[in-house]
Amino acid sequence: MARTPTTADVFNAIGDEHRRSILDTIGTGELAVGEIVSALGFTQPQVSKHLKVLRDVGLVQCSRTGRHRHYRVNGAGLRPIDEWVRGFAALWNERYDLLDDLLVELQHEESP
């Protein structure tokens, strides 16, 4: 068989370095496509296609204003990755157990 599909999978979406650059560039704010293009020096179709992948996996959200489209990062989409990685956190830092405890507390606070 062939290579496994990557799109429609959050883990693979962030596997591409260009896509991570786009997310880093957007950061905590909102950016139009053209702003991302000029910030990173990628071509416009290249950015648009990566944004489509990120949209499909739910890592970015888009809002239209006139003929501009502003993208922002949907941090919740990264939670599956965070949770999976944190499953191994004990392997690189035993003190993370403290963080785990705090995490559990916070989660209980949020979902009463």
The rounded distance, in Å, linking the Cα atoms of 45 and 25 is 17
The rounded distance, in Å, linking the Cα atoms of 57 and 36 is 19
Q: End-to-end CA distance of the chain: give it in Å, rounded.
A: 47
Site string for a second copy, 38-77 (x = CB under 8 A): -----------------------------------xxxx-
The contact set with a second copy (CB under 8 A) reads: 4, 6, 9, 11-12, 14-18, 20, 23-24, 28, 73-76, 78-79, 81-82, 84-93, 95, 98-99, 102-103, 106, 109-110
